[in-house]
Structure 1
Amino acid sequence: MTIDHLRRNFLQKLVASAAVVPMLSSTNAFAQSDRPGTTDGRQGATLRVALMGLGSYAERVAEAMQSSKRARLTGLISGTPSKLQEWGTKFGVAEKHRYNYENFDRIKDDPDIDAVYIITPNTLHRDQAIRVARAGKHVICEKPMAVNAREGQDMVDACSEAGVKLLVGYRMHFEPKTLEVIRMRKAGDFGSIRFFQGLCGFRIGDPGQWRLDKALAGGGAMMDIGIYAINGARYMVGEEPVWVTAQETKTDPVKFKQGVDETIQFQLGFPSGAVASCLSTYQMNHLDRFFMTGEKGFAELLPATGYGPIEGRTHKGELTQPHVMHQTLQMDEMAGILLDGNTPVVPVDGAEGLKDLKIIDAIYAACATGRRQELRLG
């Protein structure tokens, strides 16, 4: 999707969000959206998903669902008519299940859509998620869930009031090698955790892309790539941080304008005394590493969050769990959460997303003030 299309969609959203959408009662919304999906020969009921925002990552998700055992692409939402036509033909989505940003509230009357996966620029997530919830459909939102904790709370509240579930696209929460490290930590293989390091970044290209536009991205590298280190520190250490300090570096103020962070180093403190040291950047390549050490051993994931395969080792040797396309695993597991009430090893719900947003808010505050920020994520 071009930057012109994204900016046009941003303006369309502002207009459309002014429309009054009747709030469904919690009972009716739950009855409509929590019913089992179709069974179409797959393993158990099938989650019927509409994708909102037909960019490159949405295409990856759409392709992944072709081999999914529990999820199927049944709807499309985009501000670009040609994409609706192209994707509808490619993925077999009938015209009656294709919507634009002005009329997608009509999905409330579409029985072939159980959930909407929002994969649009960050600043659009809040309003789009609220509209989806009011239409009685489950919400799956790409990370970051919103651009700050206040907007994230609005999303959590709207989904709760509508009786639908809110999930966040934390694909690493289902990745086999990541889950093995978590299993080992819970089993005590590392002993008391002492230190975590998360390095996340790449050198970003096109200066005109939406990720470098604060009006669409809501920030910079921290929103896009730094959130992996925040979330990773939490699920690797197995605790919630209680304080954060942070320092921002900007070497290219032309490319990284006011409000768009280039590089941030941040540190987290945990109740046990464990500490984390992390880096988020849009200006350096070869950064995708998690390292954790405890009293009895260590774990390293390198790469740690890329599309795969993830590689890793511990003091006991190499991690050998097989690679499966992350988005396929994610959609199968999310189908189990939404249709069967399954509980994942690491949460992917709105409460989980909200904790990361509170930390991001605190990181930005620490950069602005130079002072340590206390965290209360309970």
Structure 2
Amino acid sequence: MKNRRSFIKKTGLFLGGLSVLPKYTFASKFQKKKLGVCLVGLGNYSENLLAPALQLTQHCELKGVVTGSPNKIPVWQRRYGILDRNIYNYDTMDDIANNPDIDVIYIVLPTGLHSQYAIKAAETGKHVWCEKPMAKTVEECEAIIKACNKNKVKLSIGYRMQHEPNTQTLIKWSHTRPYGKIETVKAEIGFNIQNPGNTWRMDKGLGGGLIYDVGVYSINGIRYTTGSEPISVTALHKNTRPEIFKEVEETTIFTLNFNDGLTASGKTTAAESVNILKADCENGWYQLQPFQSYTGVKGKTSDGQLLDTYIENQQAKQMDDDALSILQNKPIMVPGEEGLKDIAIVEAINESARLGSSVIL
């Protein structure tokens, strides 16, 4: 199994400085129409989703990058006009503290590296956006929150679904209960993965497998659909292809129990394609299918309502919402505490599956 150090060396995170950066005095009380965003990690999600989305945002813009791959820099500069002074590697990242062009540092690294670099980002005095899942452990999540509080910067976790309008309807209904008391919730997400390849997501240390990668969508979906927190969990791991899924689980099935008798079932799997979030209530039901998708999130209700509000780009909506929270000094929609709660449940799921018994949360 690869460890964090070998991953960092392999991807070039120990490369030296690329340029001599001018020093600036950062003013915390700035007034800007748009916030400058610096992406940390230029993998697929940054390259194909976040960077293009930043071309569509109204309240933030791509201003800088942190990368351990120098060969990527010319491509990004040609494509997005990023200035030399806004290019960093993992050793020079501290210098962002002196750069007034950058207001937000967005951590888009493997999950096992989130805590280290989110804390590093907070210590520059810039606001921190951290991709989901927040971190590998509750302890790491708490350390990120502590660092952001200490440095008086805002922290947001990249749960784009909570910014999506049809999902926001379900969040509203968790409080208004238009179909009466919620009795059960189901949240399942999976893909028919024949060969996952040697990816960091399937590395136990760096990614943790599907329960971290997409399982947190099921957990988070249950929590925002019920509007409450579970008190216990029972879980089971299944692996029908141990020759492929050598370090992580192929399928995880879990049940969350709540104080009012409500129960929720969740699943994440690499053995089948499934993508549904459904609430059964005393006077009907409603669902999103798919509930987790970059496009095409839609749903329906037992009385024929359609949940099909369309937005052009989920990532752009997410980043604009978070930028406005900073510019207007308002509470973040998905703060660090939200990411921490999901990781606490992930840890309990893994413990329950290991013990073969229920775990109290």
TM-score normalised by length of structure 1: 0.87
Separation of aligned partners in 2, 1:187 and 1:215? 41
Partner of 1:315: 302
3-state secondary structure, aligned to 1:198: strand
Q: Could you tell me how far 1:240 is from its partner in structure 2?
A: 0.7
Q: 1:249-288 alignment to 2 at 5 Å?
A: 249-258=238-247, 260-281=248-269, 283-288=270-275
The answer for unaligned runs of 5 or more in structure 1 is 17-28, 38-44
Residue in 2 aligned with 1:200? 189
Residues matched between the structures, number: 348
Conserved? CA contact 1:88–1:98, under 8 Å: no
Query: Quick check: 1:34–1:114 contact (8 Å CA) kept in 2?
Result: no
Q: Is the 8 A contact 1:32 1:136 kept in 2?
A: no
- Pick closer, same or farther for the CA change 1:9–1:290 going to 2, 3 Å: farther
Deviation string 1:108-144 (CA, Å, 9 cap, x unpaired) is 0111100111111011101101111111111100001
- Provide the C-alpha distance between the structure 2 equivalents of 1:143 and 1:124, rounded to a whole number of angstroms: 12
SS at match of 2:179: coil
Contact map agreement 2:170 2:224 (CA 8 A) in 1 = no
Paired with 1:214 and 1:265, the residues of 2 have a C-alpha distance of 18
Superposed CA deviations along residues 7-37 of structure 1, whole A, max 9, x for unmatched, are 2457865899xxxxxxxxxxxx9x7456333
Aligned to 1:172: 161
Q: Are the equivalent residues in 2 in contact too, given 1:172–1:178 (CA < 8 A)?
A: yes
Between the aligned partners of 1:14 and 1:247, the Cα distance in structure 2 is 39
User: In the superposition, relative to structure 1, how do residues 90 and 137 fare at CA in structure 2: closer, same or farther (>3 Å)?
Assistant: same
Aligned to 2:282: 295
Are 2:35 and 1:47 equivalent residues in the alignment? yes
Return the letter of the residue paired with 1:336.
Answer: L
Match among 321, 339, 357 for residue 353 of structure 1: 339
User: For 1:209, which of 184, 188, 199 is the aligned residue?
Assistant: 199
Matched, 1:368 2:354: yes
For 2:209 and 2:266, the matched residues in 1 are separated by 16
What amino acid is aligned across from residue 205 of structure 2 in structure 1? A
Q: Secondary structure at the match of 1:139?
A: strand
* In 2, Cα distance between equivalents of 1:111 and 1:161: 20
The 1-side partners of 2:6 and 2:162 are apart by: 29
State whether structure 2 residue 31 is matched by structure 1 residue 36. Answer: yes
Let me know the Cα RMSD of the aligned residues: 2.3
- CA drift of 1:94 comes to 0.8
- Could you tell me how far 1:323 is from its partner in structure 2? 2.7
Instruction: Report the AA paired with residue 312 of structure 1.
Output: G
Residue 271 of structure 2 aligns to a residue in which SS? coil
Quote the sequence identity (%): 36
**Structure 2 counterparts to residues 309-348 of structure 1, below 5 A:** 309-316=296-303, 317-343=305-331, 347-348=333-334
Q: Which residue of 2 aligns with 1:151?
A: 140
CA–CA separation in structure 1 for the residues paired with 2:55 and 2:280 = 39
SS of the residue corresponding to residue 192 of structure 2 reads coil
Task: Tell which deviates more after alignment, 80-89 or 127-136.
Answer: 80-89
| C-alpha distance in 2 between matches for 1:236 and 1:130 | 31
Query: Would you say the 8 A contact 1:291–1:299 is kept in 2?
Result: yes
Distance 2:11 2:357 in 1: 37
- The letter for the 2-side match of 1:323 is I
Match of 1:142 among 131, 141, 157: 131
SS at 1:307 equivalent: coil
Q: 1:233 aligns with which of 222, 229, 232?
A: 222
Aligned partners of 2:190 and 2:6: how far apart in 1? 24
Aligned residues of 1:12 and 1:102 also touching (Cα < 8 A): no
Against the structure 1 CA distance between its residues 34 and 291, is the aligned structure 2 distance closer, same or farther, given a 3 Å change threshold? farther
CA distance in 1, matches of 2:31, 2:112: 32
Which residue identity is paired with 1:261? E
Q: Is the 8 A contact 1:9 1:101 kept in 2?
A: no
The match for 2:233 is: 244
CA deviation after TM superposition for structure 1 residue 175, in Å: 0.4
Q: How many angstroms apart in 1 are the aligned matches of 2:15 and 2:337?
A: 29
Matched residues in 1 for 2:31 and 2:340: separation?
A: 28
For 2:64, the equivalent position in structure 1 comes to: 75
d(CA) in 2 for partners of 1:342, 1:159: 16
Greater shift after overlay, 231-240 or 318-327? 318-327
